[in-house]
Amino acid sequence: MDIGTQGAHAPADLAWLRGVDAYTMGAYPQAEEEFRTAVRIDPGMADGWLGLHALRVDTTNALLRMHRHRERFGEQRARHRRRLNSWYWLGWWVQPVLEGPRDLLLAHASHWLDGRHVPELDRALAGLPP
């Protein structure tokens, strides 16, 4: 039996896989629909939110949802051995890749820096690894 076709999260996983395939082929409206379906079925699917972030769809919400469910960040990519990443702004000129757990923490801190939310930025920076 195929991976991702059984279990409680199977429909969300299948939507995520279809989203990655559509994104890879440049079928961005279909990819958005599939990633939205994945996170509607499984709101804690951080990689579904990563897909929406990569499409530049509601990036603030997608980033905050990825961070909220950061313990699952990379779950679908690892389970299905698929690659997917995004990027974020760090200041005016730098666009780091958003792919791994450390990237997610830095993107989260950068979000608060850009928004001039000092208390949230302090908390985000305190959570960064050395």
Q: Rounded distance, CA 9 to CA 39, Å? A: 11
Q: Is 98 in a helix, a strand, or coil?
A: strand
Classified by CATH at the fold level, domain 10-126 comes out as 1.25.40
pLDDT band at residue 38 using 50, 70 and 90 as cut-offs: very high
pTM for this one? 0.84
Per the DSSP assignment, residues forming a β-bridge with 35 are none
Higher-pLDDT residue of 122, 76 = 76
**Whether 38 contacts 51, CB under 8 Å:** yes
- Residue 114 above 70 pLDDT? no
Q: Rounded distance, CA 104 to CA 46, Å? A: 10
Supply the pLDDT for residue 93.
83
Q: Rounded distance, CA 2 to CA 128, Å? A: 37
- Residue 68 above 70 pLDDT? yes
CA angle (67, 28, 112) in 5-degree steps? 25
- Residue 83 above 90 pLDDT? yes
Q: Is 94 in a helix, a strand, or coil?
A: strand
Q: Rounded distance, CA 51 to CA 62, Å? A: 9
